[in-house]
Amino acid sequence: MSEAPILRVQGLIKHFPIYKGFFRRQVGSVKAVDGLSFDLGRGETVAMVGESGCGKTTAGRAILRLVEPDGGHVWFRGRDLPTVGEAELRGLRRHMQIIFQDPFSSLNPRHTIAQIVGRPMLLHGLASDAADAEQKVKELMVKVGLQPAYSSRYPHEFSGGQRQRIGIARAVALQPDFMVCDEAVSALDVSVQAQVINLLSDLQQEMGLSYLFITHDLSVVRHLADQVVVLYLGQLCERASRSALFSAPRHPYTQALLSAVPHPEPGRKRKRVILQGDVPSPIAPPPGCRFHTRCPLAHGRCRVEEPAEHSVAPGHVVRCHLYEGRSEPVDIAGPLPAGVQP
Ligand code: SF4
């Protein structure tokens, strides 16, 4: 990344309190996001991956302040978002948009597409009057691959893929710099997925957009990510460029996730690794390394000491004890490296 990142997330924390009893006493908290840090470059895509419940959706919402973070910094357009007041945040919101997995639930069923896409433009002064907004909606419809004449229709008259295109039109109508795509293609058929991914890539090229792409699907990540952030139980496991992550994953959890997708080099195969057990509850994450209850390479230290983030190459960070002073990948299906106490 040559220039300053458009978004810098540092130590982001979001815990949801759990209350119980008549006096609504706090008895614990769900540690949804615990100290997440990464940078997003201008015109780049960072994919955030992990199993369901790992905190990726909460992280996306906390970054946009759709939920209030409990700690950390989110630097965007020179401002630390968790500290800005409501009025300033409203102004900044135009520059950061979100696309949801289910566009239907986020499109007002009583409004036409012209209203859904056009009104925000009028509100933010990006269209001078109703006629101007209508014209711009039609141009946007063409841009996202829909017939301009459909602008007078209602959301229920469209297919899932078309509704996602409408969601994208609404988001780009405000000329944002940065968009969170939260499982934006997960609910679509594979062929429609490819079309929507291509549309997002074209818009990125054309408008210089930066994406935070939240997904559980590594084959999608492979097509569009520049950087990948792997989360487990609210914490970062590994952060690397797409090519580094797919060709030489370090963290045992990343290796297990990637064992299910084909190797990028033709002819090379990965050994399938099935993780045992379920993801522990984020209310009481395991002590030490959060992944130790399922990690085939867990050893004594992992059960008591939380691992730090270790840099194994420029821009490649791993949270695992095995990479303290080591940068070569340790195979999840192999023995512990020499010198590591079991
Ligand atoms: Fe596995 Fe230990 Fe590394 Fe955690 S710190 S991923 S338990 S080897």
Q: What pLDDT, in 10s, does the model give residues 141-153?
A: 999 999 999 999 9
pTM score, whole prediction:
0.92
Residue 31 C-beta-side C-alpha neighbours within 13 Å: 18
Output the CA 208–ligand 1 centroid distance in Å: 38
Q: What pLDDT, in 10s, does the model give residues 314-330?
A: 999 999 999 999 999 99
Output the CA 255–ligand 1 centroid distance in Å: 12
Which ligand 1 atom sits nearest the alpha carbon of residue 296?
A: 1
Would you say residue 106 has pLDDT above 60?
Answer: yes
Instruction: Write the secondary structure of 254-284 as one string of H (helix), E (strand) and C (coil).
Output: HHHHHCCCCCCCCCCCCCCCCCCCCCCCCCC
Output the CA 223–ligand 1 centroid distance in Å: 28
Q: What pLDDT, in 10s, does the model give residues 36-48?
A: 999 999 999 999 9
Residues with CB under 6 Å of ligand 1 are: 252, 289, 291-292, 295, 297-298, 302, 307, 320-322
Query: Which domains are present in the chain?
Result: 7-247 (3.40.50.300)
Q: Using CA positions, which residue lies closest to atom 6 of ligand 1?
A: 320
What's the CA gap between 235 and 308, in Å, rounded?
11
Cross-strand partners of 9? 38, 74
Question: What single DSSP character describes residue 153?
Answer: S
Q: What is the DSSP string of 1-63?
A: --S--SEEEEEEEEEEEEEETTTTEEEEEEEEEEEEEEEE-TT-EEEEE-STTSSHHHHHHHH
Based on its alpha-carbon atoms, the radius of gyration of the chain, rounded to whole angstroms, reads 22
Output the CA 289–ligand 1 centroid distance in Å: 6
The enclosing H or E element of 212 equals strand 210-215
Q: CB of 164 within 8 A of CB of 144?
A: no
